[in-house]
Each structure stands twice: as structure tokens, then as C-alpha cells.
Amino acid sequence: MFLLQGAQMLQMLENALRKSLPESLKVFGTVFHINHGNPFNLKALVDKWPDFNTVVVRPQEENMRDDLDHYTNTYHIYTRDPKNCQEFLDSPDVINWKQHLQIQSKQEECYVWGIISAEGTVREREIYLLRQRTSFDDVSPLSLCGAQASLVNKFWYYGGNERSQRFIERCIRTFPTSGLLGPEGNLVSWNLMDQTGETRMAGTLPEYRGQGLVSYVVHAQEVTMEKLGFPVYSHTDKTNIAMQRMSDTLHHLTMPCDWNQWICMPV
Ligand SMILES: CC(C)(COP(=O)(O)OP(=O)(O)OC[C@H]1O[C@@H](n2cnc3c(N)ncnc32)[C@H](O)[C@@H]1OP(=O)(O)O)[C@@H](O)C(=O)NCCC(=O)NCCS
């Protein structure tokens, strides 16, 4: 196992992952942000270097103090050799299987690792690369503040608990966000990204739905991220018709890969 350190190695990794898009998308996005200030304090491990087969991006041990916090204890994996990567994943200091943890990967084959290594769940999603958008006039996104994390948390499919709220607060503090206020000055529609650069926490208050608000904030977020030079992409549940229609309206490109997440617990 090699810990990649130094700007040159990490840039080489980013360049190599770029060549394997879209399968490497989540790991590519995460490494991109490591190379732009590493705001989530993550590290990249490879099985060998420079001709790596498998990359694992994970938090530093000192940031993984809560054994039950799978939002923080999250690993992103990309491999060129799904059949043989298990040995690397099981080697010491790559994944701490004693904690509650989350694994995300675009690669379907990872399901096998999930079965071998831990109990978990798989969720498949449509993946969108946010390009070729329709233009909106007067886009002026409002940035969210930490106090609005509880609202985002309430409507986030994967959230609704104290740990997810802490994770959302951290995302709001760290990355660009986009939101709209209603007539009362309260947040009514929002969109934000996670440490991989994926925009995956969008919502509109029920009483404001169907008015094009989420389409507006998603577009505003795209504009902000593109100005910063960030890779822009999202996923949506295959059953979430509203989000898929929004993606169609904004002319997002559907990517030929899956979105997989395992929530694992020690047995
Ligand atoms: C999904 C959600 C964000 C949509 O917000 P919204 O502000 O109502 O979305 P918009 O008004 O911009 O509508 C987007 C598209 O979906 C359509 N739509 C909205 N609600 C719909 C519904 N219930 N069923 C089918 N289509 C719907 C709209 O007509 C629009 O399509 P169009 O561009 O072809 O007209 C909102 O319903 C929500 O917060 N749901 C719960 C949380 C969630 O699912 N978040 C997204 C996953 S991260």
C-alpha cells in the first residue's frame, strides 16, 4: 500500500483518473478537490505506484473518531482490476472494517467486495454530467449557512439524523452552495455538493414545489462551480421523476455507469 504524497504524485493520479472517466468519476472528483486545497483533509492510497490498479480515497485516521459515523468514515474506490483488488482492500490501514463505514464506487463489480467484506446495501442511480445547460437570466445564487443544515438534513434521503446533519454542516462550510429564499426570508430551495464534487443534496419545501425552483438552484450551482473550474456532476434515484425531468430540462448528459453505495457495519 502506498500513500500518495506531494503535489506531483497527486496530480499524476488525477491525470490518470481523468482518462478513466466516467467510471472513475467519484474518485477523480475527490482527488481533484484534494489537489485544490484538500478541504476535507482526505488521503489517497494505491496498491502500487505509478502503475496502480486500485485507488482508495479516505479520511485521515484522526478525523475518524466516531466509530458509528459512516458519513465521515467514507471510502471512495476505483479499480482497474476488480477481480484482484480484494487483497488490497483487506490489507492493514486501507479500510477500517471495525467501524461503521460507507463505500462509494461507480463500479458495479464493487458489489462483490460488499458481499465478501461486510453487510451493506447497494443503491443504483442515474448519473448526470452537468453540461449543455439551458440558460437562465439573472442567476444570483444565495450561499447557505450552517444554520440551514437542519432543513437540508430533514429532506435528504440519506440523512435525518445527527451525524448526517454534521456532515451537511461541513459540506456547507467547505464548498459552494446555492439556495433561494421565500417571501418570509426562509430557505425554500437548495443544492449542495459533497467532498467528491458531486451535487447530491437538493430539495424544495413541499409548498414551493413544481415552480422550477430546484431547476434554478441546480443551474446556479453549476454556474458557480464551472467558474471555479470544478468538475460538475450529480446522480439521482431512478425513481425520482422530478429530478430526472429537471436534468432533461437542463440538458444534462446521462453517463453510462452506476452509482453505488454500501453502508457497512462490523459483524
Ligand atoms: C425533487 C424536488 C427537489 C423537485 O423540486 P422542485 O422545485 O419542485 O422542482 P422543479 O419545479 O424545478 O421541477 C423540476 C421538474 O420536475 C417536474 N416535477 C416537479 N414535481 C414533480 C412531481 N411530483 N412529479 C413529476 N414531475 C415533477 C417539474 O414539472 C419539472 O419538470 P419540467 O422542467 O419538465 O417542467 C422536490 O420534489 C424535493 O425536494 N423532493 C424531496 C427531496 C429530493 O428528492 N431531492 C432530490 C434528491 S437529492
* CB of 209 sitting under 6 A from ligand 1: yes
212 lines ligand 1 (CB under 6 A): yes
Dig out the grid coordinates for 2 from the structure. Answer: 502506498
HSE toward the beta carbon, residue 23, CA cutoff 13 A: 14
Range(s) within the chain of domains with CATH label 3.40.630.30: 131-251
Distance (angstroms) between ligand 1 centre and the Cα of 7 equals: 41
The number of the ligand 1 atom at minimal distance from the alpha carbon of 237 is: 47
According to CATH, the topology of domain 2-127+258-264 is Aminopeptidase (3.40.630)
Is the pLDDT at 139 greater than 50, yes or no? no
Residue type for 139, please? V
Indicate if ligand 1 lies below 6 Å from the C-beta of 160.
no
Tens digits of residue pLDDT in 148-180 = 999 999 999 999 999 999 999 999 999 999 999
**pLDDT band (50, 70, 90) for residue 109:** low
Coil, helix or strand at residue 157: coil
**Residue to probe by mutation, ligand 1, list 151, 214, 251, most atoms within 8 Å of CB:** 214
**pLDDT exceeds cutoff 70 at 115:** no
Q: 53: left (phi > 0), else alpha (psi -120 to 50), else beta?
A: alpha
Q: How far is CA 189 from CA 156, 209, 224, in A?
A: 12, 9, 16
Would you say the C-alpha torsion 145, 146, 147, 152 has a positive or negative sign?
positive
Question: What's the gap in Å between 150 CA and the centre of ligand 1?
Answer: 20
The domain over range 131-251 is classified in CATH as 3.40.630.30: yes
Q: How far is the CA of 23 from the centre of ligand 1 (A)?
A: 27
**Closest Cα to residue 97, out of 112, 119, 81, 77?**
119
Q: Which of 10-24, 25-39, 117-131 has the least mean pLDDT? A: 117-131
Residue 204 beta carbon below 6 angstroms from any ligand 1 atom: yes
Closest by Cα among 131, 91, 124 to 105: 124
